[in-house]
Structure 1
Amino acid sequence: MFRKCLTTFAQGKNANNAGCLTSIVCRTAHRRASNKKADSRPPKVLITGGLGQLGIECAKLLRSQYGAESVVLSDIIKPSKEVIESGPYIFADILDFKGLQKIVVDNRIDWLIHFSALLSAIGEQNVPLAVRVNIEGVHNVIELAKQYNLRIFVPSTIGAFGPDSPRNPTPNVTIQRPRTMYGVSKVHAELMGEYYYHKFGLDFRCLRFPGVISSDPPGGGTTDYAVAIFHEALRSGKYTCYLRPDTRLPMMYIEDCLRALLEFMRAPSENLKRRVYNVTAMSFTPEELVEELSSYVPNLHVTYKPDSRQDIADSWPQVFDDSEARRDWGWQHKYDLKNLVSFMVKDVRENFIKLEDAKVRASST
């Protein structure tokens, strides 16, 4: 239609030209008005793997910003009463492409945040399942995002690097040769997302997170010693660490992690010089964490018995260089090691230990 208008305009058919160009202008104005109207409403967000470490807290943050009904939490796990009452929750299998299509269409999804994955230690125990969940699942959500023009976020990890990568510091772009299926799948996701961005214009966004520390019980990651130690030490005053005391790894508190995600998703696309960024807050060793925690647990006794997770940790970055994220979209962390320990001690005591003690007392009466 547009080519025909240009042809008739060149031939001097002024009456037709006016009508044709008016039609184009009207349609363009309508499109712009529609886009402006769409931009004015909160994004509808789908979170996959929503009952993992990050999903529920991410949903809380996004619902506080955009409203409870704007965020759809999903997983294949039966949700708690609290999850159901907090906002929309649906069953979503990331290996079921047609099922995902229906969810996106029925809920008019704009953003897709893809947390579904098997973590490092668990993935090594079941490689075929890790391939299906971590690789086939990513293929599904990236293709879905392309089809429906979604902004998609897929987290990556320090595990996307390997023993051949520089470890202190690890820059944003460097050699990546991970030796875990988790790491391999994350490099695959990074490259797939970048390919779809360059080939199809997909608004793909990815942050490489370090170890993320929250009060939720550990879920099988190599960095989860930094979560487990709070639960064990505050209960018993003892902890057995599966890493050497001098194993330095990048870490961040969950509040910083989720804030980074939200700020990154909101960042104008033109500000992003990359589709994949390192983000971090601090780096510490088990013995440095124990020293800080000892001020809250004076008689803390920690023993070290490295297992297979030590080999994984030895191939990962010790210090993350996230200067590009700080430069391009203004990333700044809030929590250092001292603040992290203070908040974790308070959180675990109030939301786990006291509640468990109250349940024990109630059951004994």
Structure 2
Amino acid sequence: MEYRLLGKTGVKVSALCLGTMTFGSRFLNIATVSQTEATQMVERAWEAGINFFDTADVYSRGESEQILGQALGQADIGRDAAIIATKVRGKMSDADPNAIGLSRKHIIAACEASLRRLETDYIDLYQVHGWDCLTPMDETLRALDDLVRAGKVRYVGCSNWPARHIARAQALADIGQWTGFASLQAYYSLVGRDLEHELLPLCLEQALSVLPWSPLAGGFLTGKYRRKSTTPADARRVNFDFPPIDQERGFDAVDTAEVVGAQIGASIAQVSLAWLLAQPGIGSVIIGAKRLDQLEDNLKAVDVRLTEDQFDHLSQATKPPTLYPQWMVERQNLDR
């Protein structure tokens, strides 16, 4: 397993992170993994060198956090050795109007609840799980900083934020001498490359680690979905077609990954993950699974080495168009 620095911190995280959205029983028709199965996955991930585990309070309304906390204990993984990441923002109660968002009130209360469910005294990476248009940014940043100063959180990150908000948050953190973001957790895959327009360049400039979620595009890049084949009835996208993708571009990606995989003896999923791992700025790719065999296949991606030609072939198959003003920036700098 390869280990990479988490942003500007000195903490090293495994190049693959075990995502636990599938742990539990009631989240978007995705969560089906029991405690016993989760413990087996955590143990196997740890054996493979994964030290980074990601969850969120909103996953099955806390059930995923609880299962992960118990799994880490049952697997006898030392607390200081494991890097635990969770998130705050999602709606945690249908009765309490304040049990949502990024207000100081909700952040502090949600952190305390996550600590209890995870059975730990601190969270390594606490991430704001989306943008909150109602709460002033400085309120959010100061609440996060207070948690760090209190020792309940080690580092903070963001997820699903626009580039302009991240840039402003980092500037405010510098001015206020508050804890800034160490990472951005965002959707990024061979067939979902919007990140490359603004967010990836910003993260490279600011030295934020990119933590891609859904690196296989909701299962599309596993090979289950083909142009001229019937999709299996149990495939994830049958009942939950997310994240949205350009299907024709997706088929191009699958076909290309299959060709490359045949050359090096790797699955379509492994090739897709290896392409992502080779991108600049990637800290750790978040993999998730409903079954142990799916996890086993994904773990092998760290051993896949793409040649420059293979990497370029995959990149060209799904290359997004250059958007303004980037094409003007590139044109203006041709003669410099």
Give the TM-score taking structure 1 as reference length.
0.32
Structure with larger RCO (C-alpha < 8 A, sep 6+): 2
Give the TM-score taking structure 2 as reference length.
0.34
Q: Which structure features the higher share of helix residues? A: 1
